[in-house]
Each structure stands twice: as C-alpha cells, then as structure tokens.
Amino acid sequence: MIQESDDVIVKAVARLLVPFIVVYALYVVMHGHYSPGGGFQGGVILAASFVLLGVSHGLEKTRRRMSEKAARVVSSIGVLLYGGIGALCLILGGNYLDYAKLGKILRVTPAEARSLGILGVEIGVALAVMAVMCTVFFAIFTAEESPEDYRSVE
Amino acid sequence: MEVTLLLESTDNAFRVMERAREHAVGLLDTAVQFTAEQTRFRQEKRGQLLFTGTQKRKTQFQNIVGTTIILLAFWMLLSGKFDAFHLTLGVICCALTAYLFHDLLFANVRVGDMRVIAARFIAYIPWLIEQIILANIHVASLVLRRKMPIDPQIVKFKTKLETDISCVTLANSITLTPGTITMDIKDGVFYVHALSQKVANELNAGDMEDRVAHIFMEADHLYVEDVLDAARIYQTLRT
C-alpha cells in the first residue's frame, strides 16, 4: 500500500502534470492514424498518469478516480469495442476488421470509413491497455496488505 | 372679491408646488444616500474579500471550464490540425479530462487574481534567467580556479510561503540556479545544499523568496492584513 507522499514538490508537480499527461495520451490515441502513436502507446501513457497519481497522492485518492472494479469494466469495454467493430465488419459482409464495409452504416466513403474504423479500434485498444495497466499496478501495490483476496480467488 | 379669490388660489397652488418640491428633494436625498450606502457597503465587502484572502471558493463548474480552456490550448499546440473533426475530438477529450481531473489544476488557489499571478510570473522569468547566468559565471570561476575554493554546506531556513505551489516555484528556482540544490522541504523548512559561502549568503538574504511571494500575492496579503488590523483598531478608538 502506497501512502500519500509527504514531499510537497512531488505532490504539487504531480497534481499540475496529471491533466496534461492525460490530454497528451488522448492526443496520441486520437492522432494514431496520422502520426506515430496509437492505441497501445496512448493507453500506456494514460495508465502512467494514474500511476503517477497513485505514487504521489496515495492509492486512496487514485481509487476515487479509477477503482479496481472500474478498471475491470473499462478493460472489458475496450475489448468489446475492438471485437465489436471487427464483428460488425463481418456482419456487413467483409473480412474481420474490414473497415471499408462500415461506410454503409456511417454513410461515408470507404476511405473515410477506414479512418473512422481505425480510430474506433484504437480507442478500444487504449481503454483496454489503460485499464489492464491500472489493474496490474493496483495488484502489485496492494498485494501485501490483502493476501486473503488472492487465496479466495484460488 | 374676485381678486382675493384669485390670490388665494395662486397661494394655494404655490403651497402645493412647494410641498411637492420638498417631497421630491427628500426622495432624491434618500435615494442618493441609499445608493451611496449600497456602493460603500459593496466596496467594503469586496475589499474585505480581496484583502483578507478569504476569496470566495470557485465553483466546480468554473474549475471545469478553466481546466478545459487550458487543456484545449495544450491540445491545439500538440495537434496542429484545425479542421472540424479534430477540433471536435479535442473539445471532447479536454472536457472529459477536465471533468475527471477538475480538482487538480486549481487545487490550492487561495488568494488573488489568476491574471495578475500569470503576469507577475512572466515578469519573474527574466530576473530568474539573469540570476542563473550570474550563478553560472560564479560557479565556473570557482571550479576553474586552481585552488577550487568551494565550501559545501547545507543551508536551512524557514520559509514564509504558504501555498504548495509557491514553495515548489521557490524550490525549483533554487535548483535551477547553479550552485544550489533544494534537497527537501519539511513543514515549511527548506534544506538547501549550497556550494560556497557567497551563494549561501545570497540564499539567506531571501531576495528570491520575496519575489516568489510577490508573484503569488502572499506578500500583498500579509501587508494588507496589517493595514486592515490598524483600521479596526482606529475605529474602536474613535467610538
């Protein structure tokens, strides 16, 4: 269990930086099909912002924004988004993740449909990666305080 | 007969007009007094709010809007694409982030106007750069001399800064100037490693601390509080 840091500098700088890290991560995700980056990288940066918050402000305050339960739900939503877009393309008569077929639903040209489809998939990947990274972080840093949870899982 | 009647009626008319004028003047007087009192009351209240440092807490909505605007500027700096699609994405992302993290950016804003603080901070940067250049020359002269007359020591001083953000600004300014490094801040006491006696003396003089206090309007706040106290004492003496 990480306690709240007693260093004023670390706490203040972390509190000022976290919103900018989150926006940077979202930028990396949203511009993934134009420039370097994408779902995985953006998701890792998003998770890093939560880790920074956890290390500097303690786990309690981090749990208020992203609890273990929420992380589990968000990771499922991410995978569902990825799989759902892929399956939608199958239903519309293309291959798995054949985004051009999405143009029929979105009423845009196949090229634009590809762009939007990749964006949707990348958001899904980012959500899943972020949530799983947060889960790993929580699991590592709360392991010693609640070993009985793991026994009950077994 | 008719003349006296006429005179009487004119007299009456004059009397009525006189009374009406008196009424009007009285009404105007009270109105003037009322507005004067109102403005004075409002000014006093505003002054107290401004001076005592108990400025009204910003609402959550204001925080969210402020954070969104700042983050949107950052987004545009990163993105560089200004078509409708990317701008919409940016607004959505920034609003979402601001909603989730609205209490972080403006956590400990205690007193003062954000615009004044920003202007003073920008005015502080050239002075800081000048200090960094001077300290660079000093440290280089120390190191390049054959005897290398350094005198490493840890300076400990109690700060008068109150908010975390002003402490961090001071600590980072100290670390940025060569020859001094902030090691720790514990309960308002700075532990600074200084390379020579000259640098340590400059630290103890507290020039940088005063300037940082000036940026975040903490010096003003203390000064004005003293003035307010004096005014209160004067008032009690007079009554």
**Looking at the partner chain, which of B93, B104, B185 has a beta carbon nearest the beta carbon of A23?**
B93
Q: Do B168 and A65 touch (CB under 8 A)?
A: no
Look at B184 and A7 and tell me if their CB atoms are within 8 Å: yes
Residue A154: per-residue pLDDT: 45
Residue B234 confidence class, pLDDT cut points 50, 70, 90: low
Q: Picking from A6-20, A29-43, A68-82, B222-236, which range would have the lowest pLDDT averaged per residue?
A: B222-236
CA-based nearest residue in chain B for residue A50: B101
Sheet holding B180-186, edge to edge: B153-158, B189-194, B180-186
Residue B54 has a pLDDT of 47
At A150, the pLDDT band (50, 70, 90 cuts) reads low
Neighbours of A1 (CB within 10 A): 11
Q: For the residues of A59-107, what is the DSSP string, one character each? A: HHHHHHHS-HHHHHHHHHHHHHHHHHHHHHHHHTTS-TT-GGGGHHHHT
Per cent of chain A over pLDDT 70 is: 92
* A137 phi/psi in degrees, rounded to 5: -60, -50
Q: Are the beta carbons of A27 and B97 separated by less than 8 Å? A: no
pLDDT at B55: 46
A10 neighbors A95 (Cβ within 8 angstroms): no
Binding-face residues of A in 51-80 toward B, CB within 8 A: 65
Helix (H) or strand (E) holding B190: strand B189-194
With contacts defined as CB-CB under 8 Å, which chain B residues touch A24?
A: 74, 78
Task: Quickly state the pLDDT bin for A124 (edges 50, 70, 90).
Answer: very high
Residue by residue, DSSP assigns B66-81 as HHHHHHHHHHHHHH--
Residues in chain A: 154
Q: Which of A3-12, B87-96, B196-205 has the highest mean pLDDT?
A: B87-96
The C-alpha atoms of residue B34 and residue B32 are separated, in whole angstroms, by 5
Statement: residue B57 has pLDDT above 70? no
- Here the tokens at position A136 are 């790993």
More reliable by pLDDT, B136 or B5: B136
pLDDT confidence band for B108 (50 / 70 / 90): low
A-B interface: how many C-beta pairs under 8 angstroms?
Answer: 66
Closest CA in chain A for residue B94: A23
Q: Inter-chain contact B164–A12, Cβ cutoff 8 Å?
A: yes
- Return the pLDDT at A21: 95
Place of tokens 């440092």: B53
Which run of H or E residues covers position B186?
strand B180-186
